[in-house]
Amino acid sequence: MRLGRSARAAIIGFALTLGAVACSTGTETTASAPPSASAGGGLEKTKLKVATLPAIDSAAIYVAIDQGLFKQEGLDVTPEVVQAAPEAIPMLVKGEIDAMFGNYVSMFAAHDKQALKLRILAEGSRAAPDSLSIMALPTSPIKTPKDLEGKTINVNVLHNFQELALTQVLKANNVDPATIKYVQVTFQNIMPSWKGGQIDAAYLGEPMVTAATSTMGARKILDPASGPAAEFPISGYVSSQEWYDKNPKTAAAFQRAIHNAAKLMENNREVVAKVLPNFTQIDAATAATVTFPYFSSSDNPVRLQRVADWMWEAKWLSKQIDVKSLMSPTTSG
């Protein structure tokens, strides 16, 4: 398969996040963030360092900077890019950063292991329809979801959000998830492993879904972001509980700016396309056309509880997590 520069750039952007990438706006069910206070008024801290990922999902923080939304709240926010959320957790614990952006599965696991006492500041991204796909090659005997039983599927990290969401969708389609074998495959090796028969079906996201369909004749078997996994929460912004206790007004100001950025992004994709080349390997041409995840302009503890409940069901946690107890009053509504 040979792809142009724009397609390759978009694929790299997907690989770094494996987040949802479908362009529409999602429905919010809780009240929006409180109105802004006067800029800087009463904030415990105004200069913040926040770890982010070079991924579309973390665009809200860059839009908030570009559009002056942090400045309106009296905040000066400096992003520090890391390649994976687990890298940032020790930085957060040591106080080297004020907050971080990452996937909930990794952060809930760290909280469960007491590596981090977690405080959720704001939701970030949620899966959107057709943004992820389980696909089969045209010559494959896999025709229906039921045919996936006993088959091998790739994930970029074992026991993370890909596997968690797909398990629920498999059950909803009368497929026994215990029969699926997951193997960790680096992004660059998905296509060779698929063509070489090391995996039976490929777990892909856009723009790879489109590329595999058009260049290889690949067929979609199942949407991992459908049914019980619709709008599955993937990533968000968190701090430590200790930091939040010392800086509640600053935390609320940060949350307002992130939510206001998301509101702007829902109806104006140009503001997102403008910032993507600044922190991803997606060039301007691709940024103008690439599809986006749902960005959350308010937070919903019921929605987030689904992640923790599924982790408990999968025995990835030693005890159940009450997600609402990890959310500040501003985020829990």
pLDDT in tens, 31-44: 333 444 445 569 99
User: Distances in Å between the alpha carbon of 70 and those of 121, 245, 329?
Assistant: 15, 20, 20
Q: Which phi and psi (to 5°) does residue 279 adopt?
A: -140, 0
47 with 78: CB under 8 angstroms? Answer: yes
Calculate what percentage of the chain has a pLDDT beyond 70.
85
In single-letter form, the type of residue at position 189 comes to N
Rounded to whole angstroms, how far apart are CA atoms 198 and 268? 42
Rounded to whole angstroms, how far apart are CA atoms 28 and 270? 21
Kindly indicate the confidence band of residue 28, based on its pLDDT and cuts at 50, 70 and 90.
very low
Q: What is the pLDDT of residues 275-306, one digit of tens each?
A: 988 888 777 777 776 667 888 888 889 999 99
Q: Which residue matches tokens 């090659």? A: 137
Residues 6+ apart with CB under 8 A from 14: 21, 56, 205, 206, 207, 208
79 with 53: CB under 8 angstroms? Answer: no
Residues 6+ apart with CB under 8 A from 229: 127, 165, 166, 168, 169
pLDDT at 57: 86
Rounded to whole angstroms, how far apart are CA atoms 164 and 104? 11
Rounded to whole angstroms, how far apart are CA atoms 245 and 239? 10
User: Distances in Å between the alpha carbon of 126 and those of 121, 231, 235, 245, 252?
Assistant: 16, 5, 7, 27, 21
Angle subtended at Cα 39 by Cα 35 and Cα 41, rounded to the nearest 5 degrees: 95
- The two three-digit tokens of residue 199, written as one number: 């995996």
Rounded to whole angstroms, how far apart are CA atoms 38 and 8? 44
Q: Is 201 helix (H, G, I), strand (E, B) or coil?
A: strand
221 with 134: CB under 8 angstroms? Answer: yes
Q: What is the pLDDT of residues 137-171, one digit of tens each?
A: 999 999 999 999 999 999 988 888 899 999 999 99
pTM above 0.85, yes or no: no
Residue 136, strand partner residues: 219
CA atoms within 13 A on the CB side of 174: 3
Rounded to whole angstroms, how far apart are CA atoms 108 and 117? 9
Q: Mean of the per-residue pLDDT values for the chain?
A: 84
What is the longest distance spanned by two Cα atoms in the chain? 64
- The two three-digit tokens of residue 168, written as one number: 């629920």
Q: Is the pLDDT of residue 60 over 50?
A: yes
